[in-house]
Amino acid sequence: MDMHKARSAAKPQAKASARQLELVRRACGLIDAQEGERLTLAEISHQLDVSPWHLQRLFKRVMGVSPRDYADARRNAAFRKQLKDGESVAQATYGAGYGSSSRVYERAERMLGMTPASYAKGGKGAVIVYDIVASPLGRLLVAATAKGLCFLSLGDDDALLVEELAQEFPRAESITRDQHSIAQSVSLVIDFLEGKIPHAELPLDVRATAFQRRVWNELIAIPCGETRTYSEIAEILGAPRAQRAVGRACATNPVSLVIPCHRALREDGGLGGYRWGLERKAALLEGEAEHPE
């Protein structure tokens, strides 16, 4: 998530008085202004002359995340930006406010799905295997690292699917078609598409912000054969005005199907968007309606 998206995903999300909104905006301003240093909840509360408990509760109600989660998202965004701008991992680590490189690597799997150096360089060092097979919705590409599934895509042209994978990981150590080593993952995804199982439960190796992870967890929790609107998901997350942020989290899901973003709809029940076309989204939902969980 870049700096602009970090701000977009953290806009005020719930009804509050003008005074309460101003308090939360000031708290965000204090967090944003640190540029590498971390304020504790107690320090922020002291500067705003409110109790930590009150600030924590109000901030989460308005923003949909805690002050700590907001600060983490901002720090992660700064860290990623510095990596992409060419800074070394060490420089980006301290520039973003992490106390040591070990802290970054401890959190790397949750933040990025791969090590910081690998993420910064387009997946440098990643060893990826994939296969492309026929599916009920067209050609299906399934790709994985040793940690888990890292990419899924549907289409009509094998070459374009491989190109899309290469663009996602332009500096991977290797991207190899290997039918044997990824056969089990492919089989589970196909079984899911054919309605034989309600969920394709596979280990994942994907990068995610704290908010994306919350949205994706809610998508996984939707029973097969059911749907939720973006607004309903936002309500569940305690961020009732975060429909657009929920939509963005769905759109940036690299392993759709396993994380079933097709089960998220517009407020009026319309299909909304889908990276592989609305016909495929409609077909998935129709199939699941016939084979509910």
Burial 250-280 (b: 16+ CB within 10 A, else e): bebbbbbbbbbbbbbbeeeeebbebbbeeeb
What's the Cα-to-Cα distance from 198 to each of 21, 194, 195, 261, rounded to whole Å? 42, 10, 7, 14
Give the integer Cα–Cα distance in Å for 284 and 93. 42
Give the integer Cα–Cα distance in Å for 195 and 155. 19
Any catalytic annotation for residue 261?
yes
Annotated catalytic residue within 28, 150, 250, 261: 261
Burial 131-156 (b: 16+ CB within 10 A, else e): bbbebebbbbbbbbbeeebbbbbbbe
The token pair at 212 is 């994306």
User: Which residues belong to the active site?
Assistant: 261
